Amino acid sequence: MKTKNLVTAAVLLSIGTVLHLIVPAFPGGMKPDFILVTMFFAILMNLKLSSTLTIGVVAGLLGAATTTFPSGQIPNIIDKVCTAVFVLLLFKVFTLKSDISSIKTVIITIIGTMFSGLMFLTSASILSGLPGSVSILSMIMIVVVPAAVFNAILAIMIYKTMKIYKKTIA
């Protein structure tokens, strides 16, 4: 990983962590995973498996340190590493014939967020169980789908910011 990309990935994950810490949960307890969206952009800037695994582990550790989900530390690490590799594959598939666009980024963000939520909830239910008598499907509908929509909106804003950043640096 080039130094510039390493620093940018660190800044993105730091921004995601700070936002994750300071933004309150929405009614119903849903809290957007800002670390997840910034992880997607850090991966987009690198597109190498070794970099993606590193970014996924760091994002997982940051998510584990800031989670409010009961016993959500290990599921956060599992989720972020698996999602990082999955999103790398999506970026590779979506950029086979053309560059990445804002619409492709939004689609990948929605799919990646849904995958991440499924991975997190599945690993949490296996390792420690879900709170109350809630099913994975109901948690997906209540928490993951709204988070995917929110993350898609955030992805548009970050995408536009990154385009300006690249023009300024170039």
Higher confidence at residue 61 or residue 96?
Answer: 61
Compute the distance between CA of residue 110 and CA of residue 62 in angstroms, rounded to an integer: 21
Compute the distance between CA of residue 140 and CA of residue 110 in angstroms, rounded to an integer: 13
3-state secondary structure of 128: coil
Residue 142 has, within 13 A of its CA and on its CB side, a CA count of 12
Report the candidate in 45, 34, 57 with the shortest Cα–Cα distance to residue 9: 45
What is the CATH number for 71?
1.10.1760
Judged against a pLDDT cut of 70, whether residue 170 lies above it is answered with no
- Domain with 51, as residue range(s), is 3-169
Count of other CB atoms within 10 angstroms of residue 10: 13
Report the pLDDT value the prediction gives residue 126, as an integer from 0 to 100.
Answer: 93
CA 158 and chain centroid, separation: 13
% of the chain residues with pLDDT over 90: 58
Say if residues 39 and 16 touch (Cβ distance below 8 Å). Answer: yes
At which residue do the structure tokens 């666009």 appear?
101
pLDDT one-digit tens code per residue, 1-27:
788 889 989 999 999 999 999 988 776
pLDDT one-digit tens code per residue, 110-162:
999 999 999 999 999 999 888 777 888 988 998 899 899 999 999 999 998 88
What's the pTM? 0.91
- Count how many domains the chain has: 1
Residue 111 tokens, joined: 């799919």
Report the pLDDT value the prediction gives residue 169, as an integer from 0 to 100.
Answer: 66
